[in-house]
Amino acid sequence: MSNSHKRSIFISYSHKDEKYKDELLKMIKPLIYKRVFDIWHDRMIDAGDNWNEEIERELRVCHVAILLVSKDFLDSRYIFEQELTILLQRRQYEDVLVVPIILEDCLWKKTQLAQIQALPRDARPVKSFKRRDVAWTQIAEHIYELHQKSVKRKQEQDELAFQRRNREVMREQAERETQQRATLNSQSHEKPSQFYIFFGVFILVALFMILPKQDVTSYPTDLETLQRIEKSLGWELVQLQDIQWNTTGGYQLNSNNELVGLGLSNLALAEVPQEVYRFKNLNKLYLGDNQLVSLSEDIKYLKQLRVLYLRNNKLAFLPSDISQLSQLQTLDLGNNQLAFLPKEIASLNQLHELYLDKNPLQSPPSYVVQQGMPAVMQFLRGK
């Protein structure tokens, strides 16, 4: 099954019901082996981590939430006020599946869960089964069926979005062709006589012979390009001896007045100024704390880049062309909206620092990310 359809499952439970959580995990293990799901529960929090932040992060990125409902579950103030609040809000406004599993008789029908279809069938408590494996099998099958429906719905939504975008592209193309035809028609009525054409060519040749030769292949210097960026941003760029992650409107030059460092952090940028991709000697680029939602494929032109800092933006995807940054050593993508990493990142042989924290990643999944950069690179290589 494609990783793009994999769903992350958050298990909410009382620690007094831990044995039931373990029974559920054992029953759905085949689905985990098939990479249908990624499972997360609070026992996966590492020592030293902020447990409240970790739980809230997983609550906000999961696709499915399984609630092991019991008297102890309902008695937990944290579950009721923190976990359920987030999950039920996401269920209302996002495509998040919340599945209550009734462990025992309790007053769950007097809560917000009463409006949600519960498992096992007919909300029969798991503890009432003479053989609990019968209940867990039934639950696992239902969860898998719900997943299949969710995947199908997502595929249909993606197909509709693709068709809608395709229609928009065709309409835009038709409009451009109409404008081009109109321009050509207007030009055809304004053709100069052959005399004027000959005279104009004669003047151009004469000027070419008389005027001193210039290098027609010359490009703007880095300083001239910086001035263009200043004008587009409405922000004065300051020359600094060094550039840091939090530099706002600063740049660094080498002895040849070539730009080697650029800091455009915290400028509310929605996109990277196109002129940035002209700095062929740039080796440090800081774009943190902006509003970037995408990165242009022109990033491939920054061949000397060693540090790329994109933390605290809204990036939803990365171009595969990032693989052409063969000198890249540090890539910080923390706190964005990335669900997938392009597998081409694995070809960055000089990369030794990769930060992916606080992203709703599905590929690689969170359990791989938690193992560190070597595990992520191995996953992207498909090993």
- Encode pLDDT of 205-248 as tens digits: 666 565 555 444 445 788 888 888 888 888 788 888 888 888 88
For residues 226 and 371, membership in a common domain is answered with yes
- Whether 169 maps to a domain, the answer reads no
Measured from the Cβ of residue 44, the count of other Cβ atoms closer than 10 Å reads 14
One-letter identity of residue 189:
H
Q: Rounded to an integer, what distance in angstroms lies between the CA atom of residue 102 and that of residue 122?
A: 10
Summarised one tens digit per residue, pLDDT across range 273-289 is 888 988 989 999 999 99
- Whether 346 maps to a domain, the answer reads yes
Task: With a cut of 90, say whether residue 200 has pLDDT above it.
Answer: no
With CA atoms as reference, report the closest residue to 7 among 65, 73, 70. Answer: 65
60 phi/psi in degrees, rounded to 5: -90, -10
For residues 14 and 151, membership in a common domain is answered with yes
Summarised one tens digit per residue, pLDDT across range 102-154 is 999 999 999 989 989 999 989 999 999 999 989 999 898 888 887 777 767 76
Task: With a cut of 60, say whether residue 374 has pLDDT above it.
Answer: yes
* Structural domain harbouring 52: 3-157
Backbone Cα Rg of the chain:
29
HEC string of 301-312? HCCCCCEEECCC
Task: State mean pLDDT over 172-184.
Answer: 74
**Domains identified in the chain, total number:** 2
- Residue 31 — very low, low, confident or very high, per pLDDT cuts 50/70/90? confident
Q: Rounded to an integer, what distance in angstroms lies between the CA atom of residue 88 and that of residue 100?
A: 12
Angle formed by the axes of helices 18-33 and 132-188, to 10°?
Answer: 50
- Residue 1 — very low, low, confident or very high, per pLDDT cuts 50/70/90? very low
Mean pLDDT of the chain: 83
For residues 131 and 230, membership in a common domain is answered with no
In the prediction, which pLDDT does 226 show? 87
Specify the pairing of strand 259-264 against strand 248-253. antiparallel
Task: Single out the residue in 157, 185, 202 at which a domain terminates.
Answer: 157
Q: Rounded to an integer, what distance in angstroms lies between the CA atom of residue 302 and that of residue 277?
A: 6
Task: State mean pLDDT over 34-49.
Answer: 83
Provide, for the chain, the percentages of residues in helix, strand and coil under a 3-state DSSP scheme, each rounded to the nearest 5: 50, 15, 35
What CATH number corresponds to the domain at position 51? 3.40.50.10140
Whether the link from the prior residue into 120 is cis, omega within 30° of 0, is yes
Summarised one tens digit per residue, pLDDT across range 311-347 is 999 988 788 888 899 999 999 999 998 888 888 899 9
pTM: 0.46
Q: Rounded to an integer, what distance in angstroms lies between the CA atom of residue 280 and that of residue 301?
A: 7
Task: With a cut of 60, say whether residue 5 has pLDDT above it.
Answer: no
